[in-house]
Structure formats: C-alpha cells, structure tokens
Structure 1
Amino acid sequence: MTTSNTAEQKSVIGKKELRSIFLRSLSLEYSWNYERQQNMGYCFAMLPAIKKIYQKKEDQIAAAKRHMEFFNTTPYISTAVFGISTAMEESNARNEDFDTSSINNVKVALMGPLAGIGDSMFWGTLRVIATGIGTSLAMQGSILGPLLFWLIFNVPAFAVRYICLKFGYKFGTSFLNKIEESGMMPKLTFGAAVLGLMVIGAMIPSMITVNIAGAIGSGDAAVKVQEILDGIMPNLVPFAMTLGIYGLLQKKVKVSWILIVLMIVGIVGALLGIF
C-alpha cells in the first residue's frame, strides 16, 4: 500500500463536515472587526473540521487559535482557502513533524490574489450585470426586476462558494500528499512564509494612510514635507508606524491601549497641523 493511499484512508472529512463549513462560511463577515477583520468568521466556519480531525481538547483549542489570526478576502471564493486549511489540518494530525505555521502562511499568501479575482468577478462584473438587468425591468414596473437581480447574483455566488470549498479540499489533500512523499514540505513552508510576508507588506500602503503636513521653504521654492518623505521611500511613515505597532504587540501591549494612543496622536497631530 502506498503512502498516498494510506493518507486517503485516514481522511476523516466527509460531505457532512464540508456542508457544515459551507453553511458557516455564509457568516464570514458577521463578526468583521478592524483588528483581524474576518478572523472570527473563519474560525467559526472551521470548527466542524477541527472537531472531527482532532480528538483531544487541547489540539482542538490550538487549531481554533490558529484560525483566529488576521484574514480578509472576497467571501464568495474564501471557501477555497477553507478547503485547503482543512486539508492542512488533516495533514498536521497525521504527521508529527508538520509545521503548523505553514497553515496560516498559506492562508495569508492566498487571500490577496483571491481577493483580486473575487472582487473583479463578483463586485466588478456579476453585480453590474445583475444590477443592469434588474434595474431595467424595475424601471418598467416589473416585479421581476429585484427578483432577477437577486437570482442572477446569488445563484452563481452560492454555486462558486461550494465548488471552491470542494476544490480547495481535494486540491489541498492531493497536493500535500505529494509534498509529504517528496520531502519538500520544509521548502513549501519557507516559500509560503515569504509569500505571506510579501502580501502583508503590500497591504500596508493600501490600508494605512498617514500624510505629514507642512512644507520647507517659501513661495515657489517650497517643498512639501510629504514629498520629501516619499522621495526617500514611498509610504515611509505608514511603514514606520506599522513596525512600531508590531513592536508594541510583540511586547504584549494591549491592542485597546494602542488604539487609544493612535487616536490621541491623530487628534493632537491634526490640531497642531502635523497631519
């Protein structure tokens, strides 16, 4: 019996668990927050798989904590990541040497590219088509307007959500089996970590905006301070602020205190004309 066949026999996730993950994924954004965004919805959706894969309570708790980390992507294709995470949790349960940090690294690496695909597919294309058809009928007084809008958008959205979940799980299972057999898991873990850090770094300028006011010089020769900083390195201040906040978090400073300090600094800086 090959290693791959053994792994397949040990698979404990069935249609029941996948169906539960699918239904729970509908609440992905119900607990959206500014600190970790979709993390609570992600953890909630993963609980059926976690409880099925791990028998010991401490293992279930550790897995749940893993999925409370930052996560944010287009909800309609987020289930592809759920499926891959489920496959990786199964692999972790089978393999004592499995690096659990790779689970979140893969999540972080995937959420950015999938968000780009999902936003353009659903928000930029499907919603526009559904709105155009629904609005044209509604303006003629037809009840089919809102009904068709709802159907044209939601039927593909729900179908894609379920297909992505099954594909993500099957792809993750077969892919991880091949990686484990080839002994390339350490390289995969390292690569996922690097890609994940790149994605997080790329998110800084799009999610954090800090503009320094004021100028050096006078008249036509005046140069804005912000332009000088951008000349040194674009988005230097947001990057420095991110590193500062990360350092505080590493020192176990409470997030609530960090938010209070940021709010005070922002208000005082605006009043003094710094920002």
Structure 2
Amino acid sequence: MMMTSNKKITKKELKKVFFRSIAYNSSFNYERQLNLGWAWSLMPVLRKLYSDSKKEMSKALKRHLEFNNITPFICTVLLSITTAMEEQNANSKDFDTDSINAVKVGLMGPLSAIGDSFFFGTLRVIAAGLGCSLALQGNIFGPILYLILFNIPNFAARYYLVFEGYKLGTSFLNKVEESGVMEKLFKGASILGLMVIGAMVATTMNVPLAITFNETSLLETINGIMPNLLSLLTTLFIFYLLKKDVKISKVLAGIILFGILGALIRIF
C-alpha cells in the first residue's frame, strides 16, 4: 500500500467528535434521516485530514451525507471507527473509499440493536421506575434522579467509545476477516434485536377487543388460551403486508380506518 502522507487524528479531534455527537439526533429528515448530524459530528476529523484538498473534502462530505441512522447513545463508536478509516484513506492512495460506507451500513443495525436494548429497553425503564416512584410521592428529586441515572451512563459510554472505537478502527479492516468477530457480532445482535422486537410486541402492541358473550370477554378468553395472541397475529399480518410490498403509508391508513370503524361498531 503506497503511503502519501502521515496525517494523524489526535485525542483533540476525538473529543470534538464526542461533544458534537451530543447534537447528532437533533437534525432529522425523512430521506436520509440523521446524515446531517453525522456529517456535523465528523467535521473536526474531516477538516484535519482534508484541509489541503477541497476536492477530497468534497468527496468526504458527500460520503457522509448518505443515509445514516444509528442509536445516538453509542454513535461515537461508529463515528470513531469511521474516523480511523478516513485517516487510512487520507494516508493512502489506493484505499477503497467504498469500504467506509459499507462498514457504516453494516454496523448501523447491529450496534443500534445493542444500544437501544440497553439504554432504551433496560436503563431507561429502571431510571424511570425509580424516578416515578419518588415523583408519585411528591418528591421533586424524582425527575432529577431519572435524568441522572439515564444520562450519566449515556454520556460516559459515548466518551469511552469514541476512543475505543478509534483503536478498533485502526486495525479494523485487517483483522475483521481473520477473527470472524463481525460475523459473530452480526449474529448476536440480530438475535438480540429479534428478542427485543418480540418483547415489544407483547408489551406495547395492544388490541383492545371489546366483544363479549354472556358477559364473558372474548379478549380474556383468547388471552387465557395464549396471552397476547391477538397482538402477535396483528404484528404477523402487518409483516406479511410489508413483505408483499404494500406501502407503509397504506398500512398506517388501514390501521387508522380499521380502528375508527371498530370503535364505531363497538368491537374495540
């Protein structure tokens, strides 16, 4: 590999990436989602690496304005892996820049599944439970406790991962195939993501069936046979429609209309 320069990212730039990542989730669009926050977070790195070439800077910005969406709580690990790959690109003429977006796209889903399951599915529930228990007693410390318990691990993880991700990224491309760690990560994250989705179906999907026979609730009877069976069947039906390429807007409109009609004829 022919080296053309020796540009090096330091802790100074990584700290700037960390601070900018706090605003990562503040700019959203429906076409490319969080790409603006992603590019904004990486700007200190890109300026350090490509300040001497407007053409390369333009190419880098274009790369990082593609579709992007990763859970914000651990986004710094992917930002710093990307930083390391951009550093390799800036120092090498024959670096494959397509691999940068390929790695980003490949890691977004698995990392989001891990981050959401821990921060949203576990930590937030625990913090909210403790905070609400105090708030219900009229204790003003309730919401403060929630913010402390949720945000200290959140920002600590972001800060720690911005440096660890960079260390991983510097040797990422060379070691990933040899170790097989990425295949294991994808498989484990996929299993974890499916478990989280399954739990969400049981806890957040609600089909409020109001049909009764001789004062016996049909919903209670169904749940007595198999709890949350209607929630599962509804989810599988929606999944079937999506697999048949039915547009999401049509599915949402159908759910709204079905809910309104069900309320009018009192089955819900």
TM-score of the superposed pair, with normalisation by structure 2: 0.65
Aligned equivalent of 1:59, options 50, 53, 56: 56
Q: Which of these residues, 4, 17, 41, is aligned with residue 45 of structure 1?
A: 41
> Does residue 153 of structure 1 match 2:161?
no
Alignment partner for residue 16 of structure 2, among 10, 20, 37? 20
- The answer to whether structure 1 residue 117 and structure 2 residue 114 are counterparts is yes
Q: Which amino acid aligns with 1:52?
A: K
In the alignment, the residues of structure 1 paired with residue 171 and residue 121 of structure 2 have an alpha-carbon distance, to the nearest angstrom, of 33
SS of the counterpart of 1:152? helix
Q: What do residues 108-166 of structure 1 show as CA deviations (whole Å, max 9, x unaligned)?
A: 00000011101110010000010011111111222221111110000000000111111
Contact 2:7 2:91 in 1 (8 A): no
Q: Is 1:10 matched with 2:18?
A: no
- Structure 1 residue ranges (4+ consecutive) displaced by more than 2 angstroms after TM superposition: none
Deviates more, 1:100-109 or 1:11-20: 11-20
Counterpart in 2 of 1:237? 245
- 1:41-79 Cα deviation digits (max 9, x unpaired): 000111100010112121111101100011111101111
1:140 match: 137
CA separation in 1, counterparts of 2:172 and 2:105?
18
Instruction: Spell out the pairing of 1:82-231 with structure 2 (5 A cutoff).
Output: 82-176=79-173, 178=174
- Mapped partners of 1:64, 1:95: distance in 2: 18
In the alignment, what sits opposite 2:31? 35
Residue 10 of structure 1 aligns to which amino acid in structure 2? N
Query: In structure 2, what is the Cα distance between the partners aligned to 1:26 and 1:234?
Result: 34
Deviation string, structure 1 residues 245-272 (Cα, Å, up to 9, x no partner): xxxxxxxxxxxxxxxxx99xx99xxxxx
- Structure 1: runs of 5 or more not aligned: 200-205, 207-226, 243-261, 268-275
Question: Would you say how many aligned residue pairs link Structure 1 and Structure 2?
Answer: 201
Letter of the 1:32 counterpart: F
Moved more, 38-47 or 9-18: 9-18
- The CA deviation string for residues 1-56 of structure 1, in whole angstroms up to 9 with x for no partner, is xx9xx99x935211110111111111112111110101010001111000101121
SS at match of 2:129: helix
% identity of equivalent residues: 47
Aligned residues: CA RMSD = 3.7
1:212 is matched with which residue?
none
**Letter aligned with residue 53 of structure 2:** K
2:207 maps to: none
CA distance change for structure 1 residues 234 and 25 in 2, over 3 Å: closer, same or farther?
closer
Structure 2's unaligned 5+ residue stretches are 191-196, 198-236, 254-268
- Within 1, Cα distance between the matches of 2:144 and 2:7? 41
Cα distance in 1 between the residues matched to 2:74 and 2:133 = 29
2:200 paired residue number: none
One-letter amino acid matched to 2:72: P
- Contact 2:45–2:83, Cα closer than 8 Å, also in 1: yes
Supply the distance in 2 between the matched residues of 1:90 and 1:234 (Cα, whole angstroms).
40
2:194 corresponds to: none
Structure 1 pair 234/31, CA: closer, same or farther in 2 (3 Å)? closer
